[in-house]
Amino acid sequence: MGLIVQKFGGTSVADADRIKAAASKIIKTHQEGNQVIVIVSARGKTTDELLKMAFEICDAPDTRELDMLVSTGEQISISLMAMAIHSLGYPAISLTGGQVGIRTDNSYTKARIVNIDTTKIDEELKKGNIIIVAGFQGIDIDANITTLGRGGSDTTAVAIAAKMKADLCEIYTDVDGIYTADPRNVPDAKKLEKISYDEILELASLGAKVMHPRSIEFAKKYNVPIFVRSSFNNTPGTLICKEVPEMEDVLVSGATLSKNDAKITIRSIPDKPGQAANLFHEIAKNNINVDMIIQNISAQGHTDVTFTVPKDDLALAIKMSENIAKTINAGEVLSDDKIAKLSIVGIGMRSHTGIAEKMFSSLGEEKVNIQMISTSEIKVSCIIDEENSDNALLAIHKAFELDK
Ligand code: ADP
Ligand code: ASP
Ligand code: MG
């Protein structure tokens, strides 16, 4: 007997028929003699609709109340899923994040899991129940409901799988695995049989929404094997696992395009020690994630700094930048939210040269201007104009023969 964690995403529970189909998959796993813990997301577009409701009431809803609201989406799914399993004659119980002991910090809308108290899970498994857990949510130390950020149900699933030392964590979604690029935007994308934790972590962090980045951090730390597969067919899917030597032979495993970033430039910052610390201290204090940073060569004792932030945080980041620009006697603050980040990822980059150059030259052939570049051991990212970025992704995908 094994312990299997299965997660069903929004599309996989969007209507009654899909919930029933997911219930049958769950029961099959249970019938094979396994204990099963299921994590479900909100149905279809429920989370978007809940957010829309909040923004119809006010422009800047209180984040505690926002989490109270959006967490209800998952609560609908878990109760319906439990009913579907009951009606097929099997025992199941639905539990919210709080009931299942998922304790988080108190950063509403982007909380991090700090601990899982498994007492309730252990009890219910002992009774023979299939456990249906609401994804994406937890409670903080004062019992406030928190959520883990968009797409966070993956993280609930992997964190529970890690804590329970599950034999397998299956992520059921609306594509049949992880592809070399988002198959919705790149028709020639190819499904990968295997991908390493490091590669999918980079891809997810750079915008491939197939997995929530934080879920991969858990998976890597606790060595949880994950299968990403379709809830609509029985094809094997993609295994996310520890890297094996032959993975290094592949130069680039995947490409991704994100339109979720915006760019801020602060002109004419006095070029002296401590200024960057002042600026980014202010931004970090507001829990805004800065990604790329470029500082120009100093001219007449002044320099320009450009950095990127998530689009959602742009208004706040501009406000912070304007405040700090005033206090340090810098010049104007400019912003641009019509940018895109195009990235390639592969652990083969560690041992092969010329990959960044190939990316740049194929962008050049496409007449795409590169505004910013950042690299790590296993990725190259370029900020480009949003217009035409979809074609740039296709060109890069082709240049690295990811369609082969
Ligand atoms: P779920 O609701 O099941 O969590 P998501 O919409 O969050 O599903 O994630 C699945 C989607 O991720 C796919 O429909 C696909 O468009 C997108 N995606 C982005 N990059 C990739 C990739 N490299 N491989 C597969 N899917 C990807
Ligand atoms: N329902 C949440 C969202 O739409 C969490 C998830 O689906 O993983 O972002
Ligand atoms: Mg998702």
Q: How far apart are CA 388 and CA 390, in angstroms?
A: 5
Ligand 2 atom at shortest distance from the alpha carbon of 212: 8
CA of 378 to the centre of ligand 1 (A): 21
CA of 17 to the centre of ligand 2 (A): 20
- CATH code for the domain in which residue 17 is found: 3.40.1160.10
The residue from 140, 174, 208 where one domain ends is 174
Which residue ranges have their beta carbon within 6 Å of ligand 1? Answer: 9-12, 41, 151, 173-175, 178-179, 181-184, 208-210, 254
Residue 37 forms part of a structural domain: yes
Residues 398 and 303 in one domain: yes
**Best of 7, 174, 196, 258 to mutate for ligand 1, by most ligand atoms within 8 A of CB?**
174
CA of 376 to the centre of ligand 3 (A): 25
Residues 6+ apart with CB under 8 A from 246: none
Phi-psi region of 195 (alpha: psi -120 to 50; beta: other; left: phi over 0): beta
CA proximity to 209, closest of 394, 26, 15, 41 = 41
Express each pLDDT in 195-204 by its tens digit. 999 999 999 9
| Sheet-wide strand order for 254-258 | 254-258, 339-345, 379-385, 370-376
Q: Cα angle vertex 226, ends 243, 149, to 5°?
A: 110
Express each pLDDT in 293-313 by its tens digit. 998 887 888 999 999 999 989
The whole-number pLDDT of residue 297 equals: 81
Q: How far apart are CA 15 and CA 164, in angstroms?
A: 30
pLDDT tens series, the chain, 404 aa: 799 999 999 999 999 999 999 999 999 999 999 999 999 999 999 999 999 999 999 988 999 999 999 999 999 999 999 999 999 999 999 999 999 999 999 999 999 999 999 999 999 999 999 999 999 999 999 999 999 999 999 999 999 999 999 999 999 999 999 999 999 999 999 999 999 999 999 999 999 999 999 999 999 999 999 999 999 999 999 999 999 888 888 889 999 999 999 999 999 999 888 888 888 998 888 889 899 999 888 788 899 999 999 998 999 999 999 999 999 999 999 999 999 999 999 999 988 889 999 999 999 999 999 999 999 999 999 999 999 999 999 999 999 999 98
Nearest listed ligand to the Cα of residue 175: 1
Residue 208 forms part of a structural domain: no
CA proximity to 328, closest of 264, 284, 268 = 268
The residue from 142, 159, 174 where one domain ends is 174
Residues linked to residue 299 through DSSP beta bridges, in sequence order: 302
Nearest listed ligand to the Cα of residue 173: 1
Residues 395 and 316 in one domain: yes
Question: Can you read off the two tokens belonging to residue 227?
Answer: 């299968």
Residue 294 forms part of a structural domain: yes
Residue 16 forms part of a structural domain: yes
Residue 216 forms part of a structural domain: no
Residues 6+ apart with CB under 8 A from 271: 298, 301, 302, 303
Residue 191 forms part of a structural domain: no
Residues 394 and 257 in one domain: yes
Residues 254 and 146 in one domain: no
Q: How many domains does the chain have?
A: 2
Residues 6+ apart with CB under 8 A from 38: 5, 6, 7, 8, 26, 81, 130, 131, 132, 133
Q: Which element (helix H / strand E) includes 82? A: helix 72-87
Residues 269 and 386 in one domain: yes
Residue range(s) defining the domain that contains residue 354: 244-404
CA of 171 to the centre of ligand 1 (A): 11
Which residues have their alpha-adjacent CB atom under 5 A from ion ligand 3? 9, 151
Nearest listed ligand to the Cα of residue 180: 1
Nearest listed ligand to the Cα of residue 45: 2
Global confidence as pTM: 0.93
Ligand 2, atom 8, lies closest to the CA of: 151
The whole-number pLDDT of residue 271 equals: 86
Strand residues in 247-398 grouped as ranges (E): 254-258, 261-270, 293-295, 302-310, 333-336, 339-345, 370-376, 379-385
Express each pLDDT in 351-373 by its tens digit. 888 999 999 999 999 999 999 99
Sign of the C-alpha dihedral, residues 162, 168, 174, 175? Answer: positive
CA of 152 to the centre of ligand 1 (A): 13
Q: How far is CA 361 from CA 259, 296, 396, 400, in A?
A: 22, 23, 10, 12
Residue 318 forms part of a structural domain: yes
Residues 167 and 250 in one domain: no
- CATH code for the domain in which residue 333 is found: 3.30.2130.10
Question: Can you read off the two tokens belonging to residue 386?
Answer: 């949003």
CA proximity to 215, closest of 9, 12, 2, 1 = 9
CA of 67 to the centre of ligand 1 (A): 23
CA of 210 to the centre of ligand 3 (A): 6
Residues 166 and 254 in one domain: no
Ligand 1, atom 22, lies closest to the CA of: 182
